[in-house]
Amino acid sequence: MRALLQRVSEAQVRVNGAEIGACGPGLMILVCAMQGDTAEDATRLAHKISKLRIFTDAAGKMNLSVLETAGEALVVSQFTLAADTSRGNRPGFSAAAPPEAGKALYEGFAQALAALGVPVATGEFGADMKVSLINDGPVTIFMES
């Protein structure tokens, strides 16, 4: 799985003009399931992200995790993280998991993160979503399982 994390002050996702998910201080996480990914990959990625020390402590050092700061997460599916831009000018997305598997892995990732104690809001898999956020730092990190 691939994930793009952004440390945020807040984030929201809308579908057809209606807010369907939001978070306060914490993480905006864009997630893409790749061909061959498993439920174990989703769980492992959730564990890694929950403990990633990218929040500042009292000394101003990035030394705390989203769990330690009581942060929240907004998890949004984004198959375009699978983009292959190695040939031509049109990205290819064949490395992304098929929609049914991708949805199951995306939902499994969000559930695994919530089970670890991170309050999780989500987008809508496959929908045309409008995402807004305030990046804190900015801190943006790309991860793969």
pLDDT at 134: 98
With bands split at pLDDT 50, 70 and 90, how would you rate the model's confidence at 55? very high
The CA distance from 17 to 4, in Å, is: 24
Q: Is domain 2-128 in CATH 1.20.1440.230, yes or no?
A: no
Rounded to two decimals, what is the model's pTM? Answer: 0.96
Annotation marks residue 78 as catalytic: yes
6, 79, 109, 122: the catalytic one is 79
93: which 2 tokens?
């997305």
pLDDT band at 119 (very low <50, low <70, confident <90, very high): very high
Q: Is 93 a catalytic residue?
A: no
User: Could you tell me how many residues make up the chain?
Assistant: 145
Listed residue (74, 64, 60) closest to 4, CA to CA: 74
DSSP letters for 31-83: EE-BTT--HHHHHHHHHHHHH---EE-TTS-EEE-TTTTT-EEEEEE-GGGG-
56 is catalytic: no
Residue among 80, 93, 140, 142 flagged as catalytic: 80
Q: Which amino acid is at 31?
A: V
**Per-residue confidence (pLDDT) for residue 79, from 0 to 100:** 96
